[in-house]
Amino acid sequence: MNHILFVEKLNEIKPDKEHLLSLGFSNSLSELFVKKFSIFPRKIQTSYNNELLALINNFDMTSFDIMGIEFDPKLTVKEKFLKFGRYDFGDLQFSRENYEIVLGDASDSCKIIMRVAKDGNTFLNSLFSLASYTIKNVTKDPEANKIDKSEFAALLATEAGGEEYVRFYKYVLGI
């Protein structure tokens, strides 16, 4: 998925504050949840052959938080990786060699804890699916109860580039 389509599709599914209030959420919780899906454009920067880099450089992703997946305000250059965010106990980063997305150890960037996605495009595919899943769960969409987490983790891994990424998505889903 390209970065523009990712932002457009996310804006289409993002719940509004009034809808969350109608479901019984408090005003502050509604505002917090809506903020987690807020992506603001930056001054247009150089285009890249990597959709994740284009997203990070053209949009402020710092308030975005999907199931604990968060973006840093800027890229951090490490020995073999570029760090762009965080998840739980590790750094989300992509290989400077092949752009594979990995979860690296926060204290040793060369130590890979889990593989996340084949590249930025496939990561955006799986991230959008996670965002949609989160919204369905929070807004009590009846479709959310029909989702088998193991099957969903396998689907996310497929979107991310293959079954070698399923371990990360099972961890995100708590299975």
Residue 85 contacts residue 91 (beta carbons within 8 Å): yes
What's the rounded Cα separation, in Å, for the pair 11 and 160?
Answer: 21
Looking at residue 46, its pLDDT comes to: 65
Average pLDDT of the segment spanning 105-116? 90
* Structural domain range at position 70: 3-173
Q: Quick one: pLDDT band at residue 89, thresholds 50, 70, 90?
A: confident
Looking at residue 136, its pLDDT comes to: 87
What's the rounded Cα separation, in Å, for the pair 130 and 13?
Answer: 12
The DSSP output letter for 88 is T
Looking at residue 87, its pLDDT comes to: 95
Bridge partners (DSSP) of residue 85 are 71, 92
- Please tell me which residue, 47 or 21, carries the higher pLDDT value: 21
Residues 162-174 have pLDDT tens digits of 999 999 999 999 9
Bridge partners (DSSP) of residue 157 are none
The DSSP output letter for 118 is S
Residues 34-80 have pLDDT tens digits of 888 888 888 766 666 788 888 988 899 989 999 999 999 888 988 89
What's the rounded Cα separation, in Å, for the pair 139 and 155?
Answer: 22
> Alpha-carbon torsion 4, 7, 45, 83, what sign?
negative
Average pLDDT of the segment spanning 102-128? 93
Residue 145 clears pLDDT 80, i.e. is over it = no
What's the rounded Cα separation, in Å, for the pair 34 and 1?
Answer: 23
Minimum mean pLDDT among 12-26, 34-48, 83-97, 104-118: which range? 34-48
Strands 90-95 and 81-87 come out as antiparallel
Number of structural domains found in the chain: 1
Residue 19 clears pLDDT 90, i.e. is over it = no
pLDDT, mean over the chain: 90
